[in-house]
Amino acid sequence: MHESLAPSTSNSPNASAGLDATGVSDGELLVATAAGDRKAFGKLYDRYARAVLGLALARLGDRGRAEDAVQETFASIWRAAASYRPERGPGAPWLFTVARNAMTNQWRSRGDLPVETADEYSLELGPDEQAEQAWRSFLIHRSLEVLPAEQRAVIELAYWQGLSQSEIADRLRIPLGTVKTRSRGALRRLASALKEDLQ
Amino acid sequence: MNPDFDTLVGDDATPDELAALRHVHELLLSATPAPELPRRLARPPRIRRRAPRLPIGRVRATLALAAATLVGIALGSGLSLDHGGRDQTRVALAMHGVGPLAAASALIEVGQRSPRGKWPLEMSVRGLPPPPGNARYELYLTRKGEPDALCGTFRTRQAGLTRVRLDAPGDLDEYTGWIVTSGIPGRHTRVLLTT
């Protein structure tokens, strides 16, 4: 077991990619997973399960198959973690690649094509741009996991449910000033978490 | 309605910080909503660690321990991840290739025991080439290292992942491991994958 992965006491937003409030990077978690550390694997799952599900929904277009793909992806991560090389870069791109490969294997095994190969994934984007957009959405979904629940709720209501700040205040029964504070705080945390990945 | 950036951020940020926050704002606008995890995905899949290569004399003991662990999990509280209304996975365990097929692997997900006393399972196999002719691979439960109960036969595709649905018979606690063998008629059967 890797005692070094115990959460730190720091509460500051992280200045580098792949870190959450515990200060443990994705790469460190992958290395620990390769050594059989189930707690590290569980932390990776907590960080990436929603991001992988979002990617799977975009690629496979079917909720049931997407959920199967999440399990298949994490089975692959568990099996293949030893192939991750920290010196080659942070963990997020490696995890993204494993997820895409697992999904590709899944649709190949069923003999049909993924939704993403068709133009409807984005009518304006070519394959490279589609891949880039998928990567960015993956990172955004993963980065949301670094937010405290109350900040994440504000962001999701604002961006994905289209609520105004006043409506969010009503929905969450909190003062408008608190909504503003949480919004700013959330964007700052996300900017910090995404800093290296998006350079 | 898209959120207004200036309202969200206010006017107390530096120009550099403002640029970074605007970048995040635009990413959020372009991202699809992050999906909520369903109950079946609330926890990571429970996967057995791939067994290390051991001296032959220790293999049987390891298999026995693995099977005991499997049975303990399967019969205990275990997991209850359902498969979209299909069988509920009680336990998952990994198999690894042997000899020239060391790169092959498989994941066995065992479901809830059926009223007829069988354990439905789904096996995802990777790296096992298609058997020649009409031959089929065989999945066995083992007892004391020897194949004992046949769970079913299957073929694989040329490349990538093959998923098959089989059934394990009887009481799992009677067995000590799982193996996949080459069921090629007229040839000596050999173990290709093992837990």
Q: Is the pLDDT of residue A8 over 50?
A: no
List the single residue in A41, A70, A141 with the smallest CB-CB distance to B34.
A141
Please give, rounded to a whole number of angstroms, the shortest distance from the CA of B161 to a CA of chain A.
6
Give the integer Cα–Cα distance in Å for A19 and B66.
34
Give the integer Cα–Cα distance in Å for B146 and A74.
31
Which residues in chain B touch residue A105, judged by CB atoms under 8 angstroms apart?
A: 126, 160-161
Which residues in chain B touch residue A133, judged by CB atoms under 8 angstroms apart?
A: 30
List the single residue in B20, B24, B41 with the smallest CB-CB distance to A70.
B41
Give the integer Cα–Cα distance in Å for A136 and A115.
18
Which residues in chain B touch residue A54, judged by CB atoms under 8 angstroms apart?
A: 32, 34-35
Annotate A112-180 with DSSP letters as a single string.
S--GGGSGGG-SS--HHHHHHHHHHHHHHHHHHTTS-HHHHHHHHHHHHS---HHHHHHHHT--HHHHH
Nearest CA in chain B to A180: B8
3-class DSSP assignment, residue B127: coil
Q: What is the pLDDT of residues A102-113, one digit of tens each?
A: 887 766 666 554
Annotate A73-127 with DSSP letters as a single string.
HHHHHHHHGGG--GGG--HHHHHHHHHHHHHHHHHHHHTS--GGGSGGG-SS--H
Give the model's confidence band at B64: pLDDT under 50 very low, under 70 low, under 90 confident, else very high: very low
Q: For residue B36, which phi and psi values (nearest 5 degrees)? A: -80, 145
Which residues in chain B touch residue A41, judged by CB atoms under 8 angstroms apart?
A: 44
Give the integer Cα–Cα distance in Å for B120 and B122.
7
Q: Are B36 and A195 a contacting pair at CB < 8 A?
A: no
Q: Residue B138 CB: number of other CB atoms within 10 A?
A: 20
Rg of the Cα trace of chain B? 24
- pLDDT value of residue B173: 75
Q: Is the pLDDT of residue B98 over 50?
A: yes
Q: Which residues pair with B138 in a beta bridge?
A: B153, B181
- pLDDT value of residue B167: 86
Place of tokens 């620990």: A32
List the single residue in B21, B35, B85 with the smallest CB-CB distance to A57.
B35
Q: Are B10 and A180 a contacting pair at CB < 8 A?
A: yes
Give the model's confidence band at B65: pLDDT under 50 very low, under 70 low, under 90 confident, else very high: very low
Between CA A100 and CA A55, with CA B112 as vertex, the angle to 5 degrees is 15
Q: Which residue has the higher pLDDT, A24 or B76?
A: A24
Lowest-confidence pick of A23-32, A127-136, A168-177, A181-190: A127-136
Please give, rounded to a whole number of angstroms, the shortest distance from the CA of B124 to a CA of chain A.
9
Could you tell me which residues come within 8 angstroms of residue B74 by beta carbon, excluding any fewer than 6 positions away? Answer: B90, B91, B110, B119, B172
Q: Is the pLDDT of residue B82 over 60?
A: no
Q: Are B8 and A158 a contacting pair at CB < 8 A?
A: yes
- pLDDT value of residue A1: 35
Q: What is the pLDDT of residues A50-78, one digit of tens each?
A: 999 999 988 888 888 888 889 889 988 98
Q: Residue B131 CB: number of other CB atoms within 10 A?
A: 17
Percent with pLDDT over 70 in chain B: 73
A197 in contact with B at a CB cutoff of 8 Å? no
**What's the Cα-to-Cα distance from B3 to each of A76, A132, A139, A143, A164, rounded to whole Å?**
38, 24, 20, 19, 7
Could you tell me which residues come within 8 angstroms of residue B126 by beta carbon, excluding any fewer than 6 positions away? Answer: A105, B104, B105, B106, B160, B161, B162
